[in-house]
Amino acid sequence: MATSPYSEELRIAIEAVVEASKICRHIQSTEDFAELSKNDKSPVTVADFGSQAIVCKAIQEAFPGDPIIAEEDSAALRLPDQISVLERVVKEVKKLQPAASKEDVLSWIDQGVSRDPAPRTWTLDPIDGTKGFLRKEQYAIALALLIDGQVQVAALACPNLDTAESDDVGFVFSAVRGEGAFVASLSSPNDRRSIQTSDCTSAKEARFCESVESGHSDHSWSSEIAKQLGISRDSVRLDSQAKYAVVARGEAEIYLRLPTKPGYVEKIWDHAAGCLVIEEAGGTVTDVHGYPLDFSKGALLSENQGVIATNGTLHEEVAAAVKNGTA
């Protein structure tokens, strides 16, 4: 078998999100999140900053010069009245990087401020589903490598995800384009096994998932579409790209993210990693119009609206129902 052209990128990406999970888990266990509110009123915590610092440092060290389009930046932490939050971030990062100074941590976080499309770029959501993280429910650390606007490598850690198959909690999903999708327990990340989407061909039997947050997906629209497809079960609501992971490992068939706010443009870091994991597990991802997600435009999925992700076999039927569905 030919060696993978991205084996080093995959190894570093998995290691980075596994390390970041440790910070997130520790902060979640303390229940002291030092939550701040961003300009758009969305929350950000010590864990988001700590996770971004750890992952960006790892990428920068292994692949100097690779730009990173990440969700957070250090601006809020540099404000004099946020010094205690910055100190807390540094304290948490030091658990993994004992020599880290304040300036190191701030500059690692700011490795992620790239916004321009580049031929080779990483995208990072240090905590996807911050609201889920605050509720102690699902969240993810999502990292992907884009080459010419195509996702080629993905690592997606879901520290609170469980499984019916074992008592394990916390998984890391990964994929390289053309090489399949894999899962490993966060406690033994090198022990990867292949995953596939479900082979369900009957929409009536399908299980579907969507966002918990009512502002992130139009739930009444999706229940209308479910009705059209003959789905009787209620949707499973999950925060974060854990939804992509659940479809990728065959525990649900459909993830619908139907636009709510007119004008809201999806961010690449909310979808890139999950999208490749599902595709490599045999699934299909498009926007609500049936177009592939276009990751080539910088930080925004400016050419797309909403997301439909399925096990693959049901995609056409679901996309048609979304097209016919009333908003």
Ligand X SMILES: Nc1ncnc2c1ncn2[C@@H]1O[C@H](COP(=O)(O)O)[C@@H](OP(=O)(O)O)[C@H]1O
Return the beta strands (E) in 205-265 as ranges.
Answer: 208-210, 236-237, 254-257
CA distance 212 to 234: 13
317 assigned to a ligand binding site: no
Binding to ligand X, residues 104-143 (CB under 6 A): 125, 127-130, 132
Each residue 105-144 as x (binds Mg ion by CB under 5 A) or -, in order, gives: --------------------x-xx-x--------------
| Sign of the CA dihedral with 159 first, then 163, 167, and 171 last | negative
Q: Which residues are catalytically annotated?
A: 48, 130
Segment interacting with ligand X (CB under 6 A) among 75-83, 90-98, 147-155, 210-218? 210-218
71 assigned to a ligand binding site: yes
Binding to ligand X, residues 28-57 (CB under 6 A): 42
Taking the least distance from each CB to Mg ion, the nearer of 125 and 210 is 125
Q: How many residues bind ligand X (CB under 6 A)?
A: 19
Place of tokens 């399925």: 310
239 assigned to a ligand binding site: no
Distances (CA, A) of 271 to 76, 84, 214: 25, 32, 18
Q: Shortest CA distance to 14 belongs to which of 202, 143, 200?
A: 143
Q: Shortest CA distance to 130 belongs to which of 26, 247, 49, 229?
A: 49
Q: Does 239 bind Mg ion (CB under 5 A)?
A: no
167 assigned to a ligand binding site: no
Q: Report the relative pairing of strands 254-257 and 236-237 from DSSP bridges.
A: unpaired
127 assigned to a ligand binding site: yes
Which residues 6+ apart lie within 8 Å of 175 measured at CB? 153, 154, 181, 182, 276, 277, 279, 280, 281
**Of 29, 84, 193, 261, the one binding ligand X by CB under 6 A:** 261
Taking the least distance from each CB to ligand X, the nearer of 71 and 251 is 71
DSSP state of 88: H
Taking the least distance from each CB to ligand X, the nearer of 104 and 213 is 213
Residue nearest to ligand X (CB): 211
Q: Shortest CA distance to 273 belongs to which of 309, 233, 302?
A: 309
Taking the least distance from each CB to ligand X, the nearer of 179 and 210 is 210
**Of 9, 71, 218, 287, the one binding ligand X by CB under 6 A:** 71
Binding to ligand X, residues 230-249 (CB under 6 A): 239-240
**Of 9, 19, 92, 270, the one binding ligand X by CB under 6 A:** 270
| 104: β partners | none
> What residue type is 189 in one-letter code?
P
Taking the least distance from each CB to ligand X, the nearer of 62 and 236 is 236
What residues line the site for ligand X (CB under 6 A)? Answer: 42, 71, 125, 127-130, 132, 211, 213, 215-216, 239-240, 260-261, 264, 267, 270
